Amino acid sequence: MAKKKTKFVCQECGYESAKWMGKCPGCQSWNTMVEEFESSAKQSSRSYVTSSATGGSKPQSIISIQSETEARISTTMLELDRVLGGGIVPGSLVLVGGDPGIGKSTLLLQLSSKLAETKQKVLYISGEESVKQTKLRSDRLGVSSADLYVLAETDISFIERAIDEVQPTLVVIDSIQTVYQEEITSAPGSVAQVRECTAAFMRIAKTKGIAIFIVGHVTKQGSIAGPKLLEHMVDSVLYFEGERHHTYRILRAVKNRFGSTNEMGIFEMKELGLEEVLNPSEIFLEERSTGAAGSIVVASMEGTRPVLVEIQALISPTSFGNPRRMATGVDHNRVSLLMAVLEKRVGLLLQNQDAYLNVAGGIRLDEPAIDLAIALCIASSFRNQITNPTDVAIGEVGLTGEIRRVSRIEQRVNEAAKLGFKRVIIPEKNLGGWTYPKGIQVIGVPSLERALEVGLGG
């Protein structure tokens, strides 16, 4: 009988080695190399990938292929539909990741209930809970539908048999780290098991046209546990974010083959489950203080949606040789750049000041249109001058102190007017070519110096 070969595989990145090492050369993680047996089922992933609806056919010219527009399946949850790009694409494989206890299972159980209420069969497979435990959670959430089927199983062969029997529109796997394939000798959750089981679900989704949602655990760094190949194999990767002790949750798409990756969905965790937040601007501004220096509102774009959030700054004299620069929700390097522009072009002596920046509400802003708001709140805190609480600032700041134009200015200003703001400071180049909404004053500024005169002195 042939001797079984062994190898050591990193459980973080999938790096393989013939001998054990304390530190993985691939991802530099310590004590992540686990011994696994090489199996003859290693070639199975290749067959899963190639045995699709077009597998084994001859190459075709792209102009000879007839395009078929298949309608997306609406989840009836507007926030989730927005993140997915307009609804669920039949035959797609979606990976949902997030911290423990953040609400991944709750979201997917509610999604299953919404689809089942529209007379579409849904199969919810739990590898972490029994059927009775899932029933208890569904009773708490008010989930009850005859078209929602529940299965507690971890063996992928039994799961595939159940899918063939039910013929569902949607399958939920909670979670991929608990599913195993019997031919593979390594434990569930290992790199080999995660890779092979995901490949099997991909084959099922593509050949049978069934949409499959997979829950993925995350590491302590916040990334999806298992090999990076897992994120490459699926069609969409969604991250469920938020603090466990706060009620608001943010759903982001970091990969989406069928839509934009800039969209964001916001939910609020309540006793009866997750509820959609259709107007997040009101949520982010509801606790804003109006009598303190170092605060201003900016209109930022999250995909196709304008969101108004408050940016706060605290500038204080440093007690150390090197002043501290801390930023939460914005790029730390961008804050240092804007402070250098303020010092060089406007004359604010900030080289001996500690700076602390924060975006209220826990949201992260990455676009350059927030530059002007950051500069205004830094100057407001440094001079201890209160900004007008009904002002909104939008604009990109250049290194020479100029205010550069930004995109989608009309949508940003309309959102500010809708929430009752009276004045908006925008780049001068954005003034023409669109209709201003009623009830709000639009002021164009060419330079950072002029913006400070308007925002802090006007």
Binding residues for ATP: 98-105
Cα within 13 Å of Cα(399), Cβ side: 1
Binding residues: 98-105
Q: Is 43 exposed, middle or buried (0-12, 13-18, 19+ CB in 10 A)?
A: exposed
Phi-psi region of 418 (alpha: psi -120 to 50; beta: other; left: phi over 0): alpha
